[in-house]
Amino acid sequence: MSVLAEQYREEILPQLVEKFDYNNVMEAPRLEKIVVNVGIGEAKEDPKLLDKVVENVAKITGQQPTVTRAKKAIANFKIREGMPVGVKVTLRGEYMYEFLYKLINITYPRVRDFRGISPDSFDGRGNYSLGLDEHIVFPEIKIDDVDKVHGLEATIVTSADTDEEAFELLRLMGMPFKK
């Protein structure tokens, strides 16, 4: 069991139940999944880039990602229907907790001039989206092997009904929000 999952059960859950006055511990918000997405528009010029991004995302998340394809053609971007345009992976269970722990405790401290993440990126239904400009801040990526730096987005899906509940859940888990 991961450190964060254990911490949730032992420390965070009782605090959430007390703060929001839930009748039952099952009412308290919890993490459901984390979706990690990388958009690669340059994949049409360089097919090897797609393979490299798939490899990088697999290293970062510990799970094999799927290639996302364009749903319709967009002439201005020179994209045809069915062309690969990105990579995504959905993390649940242990992989999800390990990724979040690594993001909070290892990756964010390695980001240069990091001042915290915005508390305004909630969607109104208790889900939080964040983005990183460079994938090289993850410890699994060796800078010497990187040809092209790409960013990635992650959406943290919670069972919370409101943004306030989700914010408190993530804050108690150690998410470094700006003050």
41-63: pLDDT as tens digits: 776 677 788 888 899 899 999 99
- Within 8 A by CB and 6+ apart from 131, the residues are 151, 152, 153, 154
CATH code for the domain defined by 30-173: 3.30.1440.10
Q: For the chain, give every domain's residue range.
A: 30-173
Question: Structure pTM?
Answer: 0.88
* Average pLDDT of the residues of the chain: 88
134-170: pLDDT as tens digits: 888 888 888 878 778 888 999 999 999 999 999 999 9
CA 26, CA 30: separation in Å to the nearest integer?
A: 9
117-144: pLDDT as tens digits: 999 989 988 899 999 888 888 888 888 7
